[in-house]
Structure 1
Amino acid sequence: MTRSNKSVLIIGGSGFVGAQAAQALRKLYPDVPITLGGRDLKKAEAVAATLGEADAAVIDLDRRDLGLGAERQFSAIAMFVKDHTLNSMRYAQDKGAAYVGVSTGVYEMGPEVALFTHRPHASAILMNSTWLAGATLLPALHFAKAFDEVESITLSAVLDPRDMGGPAASADFDRLLMAAPQTSYLKDGKWTWTTDADKKRIVRMSDGVELPATPYSPFDLLSLSAVTAAKNLRFDLALGQPDEKSPDIVAEIIIDIDGGKDGKPHKARHVLSHPQGQAPVTAAGIAVAIERLAGLDGRAPPAPGLYFPDQLIAPEHMMARLKQFGMRIDA
């Protein structure tokens, strides 16, 4: 198959969420060539066969060329698994392809930043290890626009225990939540680490159910701090209690904002949910990232640089795409 300059490589594209991201991209852009990369060629080929205008390739993260050879060219590369070698990012830089990753913790970002700063003109690097690939950060920024001044933003996510994804996603969950002994957050204008007392919090879902939550530090907090200048930012993650009789998967994003509007104190709570859980939301977020990185939306691809999602994607565009893929937004 001859690959065009709009061709996209999705590493982990035959996995639980990666395959849905490929399907979401195909829904938005029926003709864009897609390569699904993974360790199991037959599995990747099976997913590719359902997409059309797609092929599959074995990826070897221990090799700088990923085992793809010199002839392959891509406009954008999406990385769905944790690449401890960073060869996927090096490959993107070598090819001048835009790159988006989704599995890096805040405490792990140093090597990626260092790799970019040593080759700042190689390609566009989107650091999208936000909750559900921008599906929390961008709506939060959208809702924050209704405030004249933002004092605090608390993000809460409820994940169904049945909705952990495949083995790679489960490994990411264990690493990001269990490996770091403490979690960073913004308190009274200062970045700090959680104490045992800070960790005790209850999340109240839209149906009134209350769940114990664990502090978490996705990249969302970094962008929210830079854009809103809020003095208090935190993110809490709770595992929902599934109703075995319900076909719906428990998956909610709760955005609480406290600040001022028209000279008066103002508060707002917004709830986003999807009846099929986190996977289609993450898939939609990555599809939106790829359409911008590859210039599929008709605009020029971004120049080489290091970006967070809000620097490339308009919050209103993400909101529209999320609704298109079934997200329920209580606004």
Structure 2
Amino acid sequence: MPSIQHPVLIIGGSGVVGVQAAAAIRRLHPSLPVTIAGRDLGKAQAVAERLGVEALAADLSRPDLGLPSDALFSAVIVFVKDDWSHALRFAQRHGIPHLSVSSGAFEIGIEAARFIHAPQAAPVVLTSQWLAGAALFPTLEYAKAFRSIETLHVGVLLDEQDMGGQAALTDYERITQSGSATLTLKDGRFVWIAGEEATARYRSVDGVELPATAYGPLDVLSLATATDAKNIRFDLAFDVSASRRAGEPFSTESVIAIEGVLQSGERGTRRYEVVHPRGQAPLTALGVALATERALGLAGGEALKAGLYFPDGIIDPAYYVGRMKEFGATFTEVKANG
């Protein structure tokens, strides 16, 4: 395992998820240095002191990010929307991995264009799947039971009390309101849906049905590439979680339904439920930590070379799911038929 001398820079690291991501990285790799950065230096310092890491002021509107000219880092993680793409360019100039978590499927052209113009500069990891992969990787692991897949449907529930900080709310509003339609896959064709076609019903893990709508993280692109499924749809319910209906604290849920031909040769449908009792933040933090350790070569292989990556192309689903269980997620299979 390589020894990393320079810290991982977490921009937005004093936010709800950023704090937990820093903590997850430290839990997985206690010797890996971390620097928390944000516009509010006092807030960053308070978080850094609690975690035993460093803090810096950062400003995404500046090409140098407002950082000291002699500061060196091993990777850059961005937990807020970088409207200028300055953090990516900063990472490319320094030849270090860049990880982002805030882009919808309709927005990745910005990052892709920056990579295309400098393909040898740095590893660029697009980590904007739902909760940084918390629904994607279980789906990929469960898909191994199928010889071929006709339909993949992922429904997720974000509790109304579990939005997190202002940055997360801004991302949610931008992705749900700015894009005119949501990407799905129908009969092998990528289709953008809107209006009535985008509405759905989500059946929670306690059987309660809730209103939902098609949502546009990067999961559809990752799943389409990895599984060759003919139909893929991702729906989001923003409502009350089953745990809170039962009088407990909010949780977060993913319900995965897969229809196709099983490895046995029989047709079948399977339904799987993934729940974390402390909501979305621990899973998002873990996903970012796992992508970071992989990019730096601390787990799963050598450090990434310059390239454009989805996390599912560089992390083994079984390893990811195993880590999710270690961090408190529960997994349940409900056989539908077959």
How far apart in 2 are the matches of 1:153 and 1:298? 27
In the alignment, what sits opposite 1:178?
177
What is the TM-score with the length of structure 1 in the denominator?
0.96
In the alignment, what sits opposite 1:240?
239
In the alignment, what sits opposite 1:145?
144
After the TM superposition, which of the residue ranges 240-249 and 96-105 deviates more from structure 2? 240-249
Q: Where do 5+ consecutive residues of structure 1 fail to align?
A: none
How far apart in 2 are the matches of 1:195 and 1:239? 18
Which residue identity lines up with residue 30 of structure 2 in the other structure?
P
Which of 263, 271, 274 does residue 272 from structure 1 map onto?
274
Deviation at 1:64, TM superposition (A): 1.4
Q: Does 1:207 align with 2:206?
A: yes
How far apart in 1 are the matches of 2:204 and 2:57? 42
Whether contact under 8 Å (2:180, 2:194) holds in the other structure is no
What is the TM-score with the length of structure 2 in the denominator?
0.94
Whether contact under 8 Å (1:150, 1:230) holds in the other structure is yes
- Count residues with an aligned counterpart: 328
Deviation at 1:125, TM superposition (A): 0.5
How far apart in 1 are the matches of 2:16 and 2:65? 21
In the alignment, what sits opposite 1:257?
258
Whether contact under 8 Å (1:44, 1:57) holds in the other structure is yes
Q: Deviations over 1:83-142 (max 9, x none)?
A: 000000000011111011000111111111010011001110001110000111111111
How far apart in 2 are the matches of 1:4 and 1:232? 42
How far apart in 2 are the matches of 1:195 and 1:127? 25
Alignment of 1:281-320 (within 5 A): 281-297=283-299, 299-320=301-322
Deviation at 1:4, TM superposition (A): 5.2
Deviation at 1:195, TM superposition (A): 4.2
Deviation at 1:21, TM superposition (A): 0.6
Deviation at 1:245, TM superposition (A): 6.8
The 1:179/1:298 distance shift into structure 2, 3 A limit, reads: closer
The runs of 4+ residues in structure 1 deviating greater than 6 Å are none
Whether contact under 8 Å (1:6, 1:294) holds in the other structure is no
Q: Does 1:12 align with 2:12?
A: yes
How far apart in 2 are the matches of 1:143 and 1:326? 19
Q: Deviations over 1:279-318 (max 9, x none)?
A: 1110111111111112223742111100001111110111
Which residue identity lines up with residue 321 of structure 2 in the other structure?
M
Deviation at 1:241, TM superposition (A): 2.1
Q: Where do 5+ consecutive residues of structure 2 fail to align?
A: 334-338
Q: Does 1:42 align with 2:36?
A: no
Whether contact under 8 Å (1:6, 1:296) holds in the other structure is no
In the alignment, what sits opposite 2:73?
74
In the alignment, what sits opposite 2:126?
127
Deviation at 1:196, TM superposition (A): 3.2
In the alignment, what sits opposite 1:187?
186
Deviation at 1:184, TM superposition (A): 1.6
Q: State, as a whole percentage, how many aligned pairs show the same letter.
A: 45
The 3-state SS of whatever aligns with 1:129 is coil
The 3-state SS of whatever aligns with 1:163 is coil
The 3-state SS of whatever aligns with 1:133 is helix
After the TM superposition, which of the residue ranges 180-189 and 114-123 deviates more from structure 2? 180-189
How far apart in 1 are the matches of 2:203 and 2:182? 21
Which residue identity lines up with residue 152 of structure 1 in the other structure?
T
How far apart in 2 are the matches of 1:211 and 1:244? 12
In the alignment, what sits opposite 1:328?
330
In the alignment, what sits opposite 1:23?
23
Deviation at 1:30, TM superposition (A): 1.2
Which residue identity lines up with residue 34 of structure 2 in the other structure?
I
Q: Deviations over 1:164-192 (max 9, x none)?
A: 00011101100001111211211111111
In the alignment, what sits opposite 2:98?
99
How far apart in 2 are the matches of 1:233 and 1:109? 19
How far apart in 2 are the matches of 1:74 and 1:132? 25
How far apart in 2 are the matches of 1:217 and 1:173? 10
How far apart in 1 are the matches of 2:195 and 2:290? 38
Deviation at 1:246, TM superposition (A): 2.6
Which residue identity lines up with residue 65 of structure 1 in the other structure?
D
Superposition CA RMSD, Å: 1.5
How far apart in 1 are the matches of 2:6 and 2:89? 19
Which residue identity lines up with residue 30 of structure 1 in the other structure?
P
Deviation at 1:250, TM superposition (A): 3.2
Whether contact under 8 Å (1:5, 1:73) holds in the other structure is no
